[in-house]
Amino acid sequence: MRFGIMSFAHLHAEGFVGNLRAIPGLELVGFSDDDTRRGEHVAQTFGVRWFAHHEELLEAGVDGVIVCSENARRRELVALAAAAKVHVLCEKPIEVTLADAEAMRDACETHGVRFMTAFPMRFEPSIRAVKGALERGELGSLHAAAGINHSEIPKAHRAWFADKALAGGGAVMDHTVHLTDLLRWYTGSEVSEVYAEVGNPFYPGEVDVDTAGLVTLTFADGFFASIDCSWSRPTSYPRWGHLKMELFGERGAVRVDGFAQSLTAYSRHLPRNPSWLAWGADPNQAMIEEFVASIEEAREPAVTWRDGYEALRVALACYASADAGQPVTLDR
């Protein structure tokens, strides 16, 4: 199977190179990027063939691509890939408006290609173990959750994350989608109401997007959950951030930390001192393997366009709620 990466705008693309190369029988054909400097840099650093135009990568013959562009440029790339009959694994949030997201679905349906949303935490072993525990009824019926997806401001790595036009928003756009997806997956229920406090307390004057958000989701079955999506970790933090949550049910509570499996390392040779070095499985590996398997087996991937769309819908509802100062209802 032949694979490509469309755009290296998203930092995750760097890790995906190693993930793709680790899959036996998979050939990483190259990547496309219309940014010449980045293209040359990535080609040199990772030894991957660079295509200056996305069409050239697709013409080189690939079965699947991972779309790692800026949020607001995914529709364009997904449409190109779909038209070339290439299956798509798409970074999150899948786009910045619902209309763009719907157009992506339409393009994939028209050309008969698969679309998977890149929600790697679904493949993290501890997160999966909790899913299993919930399915076995260990917590009884589920009442509430408190979720945290903190990070440092990502603009140090990629400036566009804090650019409203390219990212569609800030911390809320970046970080509500992961936990929203996990909570939808855990509950099997859809979000019916969103309340959000949104602001820019951390980098006022430096960026024009939100850097903090406290979100409350209420699900159709009455379950509620908060998500703290703030870029509230300082750049001196031992890691980029974390994703964790506590779930409350009729039989007690379960806390899960998707990044707990790490060493604390103190070294002046590390970029962060101290550093939390992950030793657990890389969930991106299992995510990409699932995408590859879905192509080989000609079936829907475990995480679909719908999952990406519903999460985007919640993120956008957060901004609507913050504007109104009141909860907003999501119609079904």
Partner 1 sequence: MRVGIVGAGSMGRVHAAGWKAAGAELIGVTSQFGETARELARVHDARAFDDLDTLLAEVDVVDLCVPSDLHHAMTLRAAQAGTHVICEKPIALSLADGEAMIEACERHGVRLFIAHVVRFFPQYRLAAQAAQAGQLGELGVMRLRRVSYPPRQGAASWFADEARSGGVVLDLMVHDFDYACWLGGRVERVFAKSVKMAHPDAPGDYVQATLRFEGGAMALVEGGWAYPPGTFRTGFDLAGREGLIEWDSDASESIQRSLLPGEPGTAAAVGLPLSVLAEDPYTTQIKHVHAAIASGEPFAVSPRDALEALRVGLATRASLRSGRSVAPAEVS
Q: Which residues bind partner 1 (CB under 8 A)?
A: 143-144, 146, 148, 150, 195, 197, 199, 201-204, 211-212, 214, 216, 218, 224, 226, 228, 230, 232-234, 237, 248, 250-253, 325-327
* Minimum gap (Å) between residue 275 Cβ and partner 1: 16
For residue 118, what are its two tokens? 């890149």
Which residues are paired to 27 by β-bridges? 2
For residue 115, what are its two tokens? 């679309």
* Minimum gap (Å) between residue 189 Cβ and partner 1: 15
C-beta neighbour count of 306 within 10 angstroms: 14
Task: Tell me whether residue 118 or residue 139 sits nearer to partner 1 (CB atom).
Answer: 139
Task: Tell me whether residue 47 or residue 140 sits nearer to partner 1 (CB atom).
Answer: 140
DSSP 88: E
* Minimum gap (Å) between residue 135 Cβ and partner 1: 20
CB 173 within 8 A of CB 180: no
Task: Tell me whether residue 218 or residue 284 sits nearer to partner 1 (CB atom).
Answer: 218
Task: Tell me whether residue 25 or residue 325 sits nearer to partner 1 (CB atom).
Answer: 325
For residue 69, what are its two tokens? 């562009």
* Minimum gap (Å) between residue 248 Cβ and partner 1: 5
Distance, in Å, from the CA atom of 4 to the CA atom of 97, rounded to the nearest integer, reads 25
Which residues are paired to 290 by β-bridges? none
Task: Tell me whether residue 10 or residue 150 sits nearer to partner 1 (CB atom).
Answer: 150
CB 149 within 8 A of CB 175: yes
CB-hemisphere CA count at 13 Å for 265? 15
* Minimum gap (Å) between residue 174 Cβ and partner 1: 15
